[in-house]
Structure 1
Amino acid sequence: MGREIGPVRLEMDCRCPKILKQTIAWKRAQYQRTHILDLFLPDWTRDLIETLYTNCFERPGLQPDSPVGGSEFSNESLRGICSVLWAGDQPVATHIGMIEHGRLHYWFPAYDPAYARYSPGTALFTEIIRKATSHGIHCVDMGYGEQPYKKKQTGTTTDVFHGTITDSRWHRMAFAAEASMIQALKRVPMKETVKRAIRTINPSAGIKKLK
């Protein structure tokens, strides 16, 4: 990629709103191509990303044209981050995530399909890992899920528990029934093929709206 397109470099903390929007567009296009649930379909998801991304501009002494870098990541509370892998002057892969006290939550990696043969997504992740320590990042959290790429790229896995607290017996029963049904569906053979078929017909299947 460096030889055919241009010098490859990582911009760990890009503050360009156009790049943020491009990342979301690439990710949504990927969801549509692969018939995977479009997590950006609800308005609140996009609003959350925008809010996290603009959080750092509200901190005293930090201006939009003054990127944060170095060991400051290790001391920061929660805020959004957008990383870009450049080849020459072309953004070939990007990632939207969250920084929290030196922990990078790896959320939405995306890439330009025009450069797919160079595996830009893998190259982006590799560069982030390579330069993480110098930016004060001591851990990259791949988040909940059992996707093969996560198992391939992680060295440690942990269990994630979830549940509900309520004084309503019927609410507890409904939650238990829903959880049992989800676990049963996860054991169904070819579940991913079935989910993609459903979302081909109804792209919003599985989306829960905020009340």
Structure 2
Amino acid sequence: MRTHVVRPGELGEPELRRWRGLQEADPALGNPFLSPEFTLGVARFREDVRVGVVEDSSGIVAFFPHERRPGGVGHPVGFGLTDLQGIVADPGLDLPARELLRACRLGVWDFDHLVAGQRMFAPHHQVVRAEPIIDLGMGFAAWEAEARMLAPKTHKTIRYKERKLGREIGEVSYEFACADSGELTRLMSWKSAQYRRTGRTDRFTRPWIVGLLRHFHETGFGVLGVLRAGDRTVSVHLGLRAGASMAGWFPAYDTDLSRYSPGMVGHLALARGCAENDVTEIWMGRGGKEFKEWLKSREVPIAEGRVARATPGAAWHWLRHVPLNRLRDAALDDPRLYSCADRVLKGYARVRRRAA
């Protein structure tokens, strides 16, 4: 077995077909973040994206997309933007993770949304959580009936607010795949305001991320859903689509209409739109949002951790990241700490806005 490392643009059509074939062979790998389109897209805007191509006597058996930073520090492609990570491989692949890193000339590779079922990385898990999925395989009506049964009061409230939105603002409509770049600009503006309001880092101050979203939208890999009331845009969502799988990515809404719960109305509209356009599952991403408990049909385990070899770069990486990550994990796993941290961030954001 041998591994060679290439830039994504060096992969030819036969290699890309093999990559997609490996995805199709394993339902856990169908997520758009693991598709070649995501890696190729990020590589347009970042010089540090590489792919480890693993071969045996039968041909290519795996693709390992990663970012390579100075000192041999590796990250998943689009680290900080991706909700699923891993190696796209034949299920029978028997390759120790450290051997993979050695072949890719990496001292460490950290992950926070790894497909937990991948055996080669299992010894390196530090935390295992779950990513919720909306299953539309039986159609929208069947999924909605299940969601209504799980939380009848919540469902009734959202549908009431949707009708109220239609009466007071304008007839409610939904466009599943909007080509208007102005709506994408609106989404990023709303999302930037949300980041500032909640004390988070504004991702859209980074030109490469803005360019990436525009690229995915223009190529159709990014699907821009728009909820409107009359002529007024109420909420917008950019998701990534690979075949029958949709990955929820960037949602945003008009906060002036928050009394109508536009985000939740938009999620229901997204589910209906997906079902009507041959999407059978929506990956919602890891997170502590209560609404996901109501919407989800099932979960997939995902892991956080790091693989490291005995190198100076790996040791420096541990000092910089691991203690802080453990504090963050403690907050995520304790609802009281999570709520407290959220309040602190929002308070910090208010102070920063007043001082500006």
Corresponding position: 1:156 with 2:302: no
Relative to 1, partners in 2 of residues 1:133 and 1:191: Cα closer, same or farther, differing over 3 Å? Answer: same
3-state secondary structure, aligned to 1:46: helix
Q: How many residues are treated as equivalent by the alignment?
A: 181
Q: Which residue of 2 aligns with 1:2?
A: 166
Q: Which residue of 2 aligns with 1:41?
A: 205
Q: What is the rounded CA distance, in whole Å, between the counterparts of 1:30 and 1:172 in structure 2?
A: 31
Relative to 1, partners in 2 of residues 1:2 and 1:105: Cα closer, same or farther, differing over 3 Å? Answer: same
Q: Which residue of 2 aligns with 1:67?
A: none
Give me the TM-score of the superposition, normalised by structure 2.
Answer: 0.46
**Bigger mean CA deviation after superposition, 152-161 or 181-190:** 181-190
Q: Which residue of 2 aligns with 1:69?
A: none
On the 8 A contact 2:196/2:349 being kept in 1, the answer is no
Structure 2: gaps spanning 5 or more residues: 1-164
Q: What is the rounded CA distance, in whole Å, between the counterparts of 1:176 and 1:35 in structure 2?
A: 22
Relative to 1, partners in 2 of residues 1:4 and 1:41: Cα closer, same or farther, differing over 3 Å? Answer: same
Structure 1: gaps spanning 5 or more residues: 57-78, 204-211
Give CA deviations for 1:93-134 in whole Å, capped at 9, x if unaligned: 111111122211112211122322222221111112123222
Q: Which residue of 2 aligns with 1:194?
A: 344
Relative to 1, partners in 2 of residues 1:93 and 1:170: Cα closer, same or farther, differing over 3 Å? Answer: same
On the 8 A contact 1:83/1:94 being kept in 2, the answer is yes
Larger strand proportion of the pair: 2
Larger Rg: 2
Match of 2:315 among 161, 170, 194: 170
Q: Percent identity?
A: 27
Relative to 1, partners in 2 of residues 1:121 and 1:176: Cα closer, same or farther, differing over 3 Å? Answer: closer
Q: What is the rounded CA distance, in whole Å, between the counterparts of 2:191 and 2:318 in structure 1?
A: 36
Relative to 1, partners in 2 of residues 1:5 and 1:51: Cα closer, same or farther, differing over 3 Å? Answer: same
Q: What is the rounded CA distance, in whole Å, between the counterparts of 2:212 and 2:177 in structure 1?
A: 18
Relative to 1, partners in 2 of residues 1:128 and 1:173: Cα closer, same or farther, differing over 3 Å? Answer: closer
TM superposition shift of 1:40: 2.4
The alignment yields a C-alpha RMSD, in angstroms, of: 2.5
Match of 1:180 among 326, 335, 340: 326
On the 8 A contact 1:80/1:97 being kept in 2, the answer is yes
Match of 2:269 among 121, 127, 130: 127
Q: Which residue of 1 aligns with 2:215?
A: 51
Give me the TM-score of the superposition, normalised by structure 1.
Answer: 0.73
Q: Which residue of 2 aligns with 1:113?
A: 255
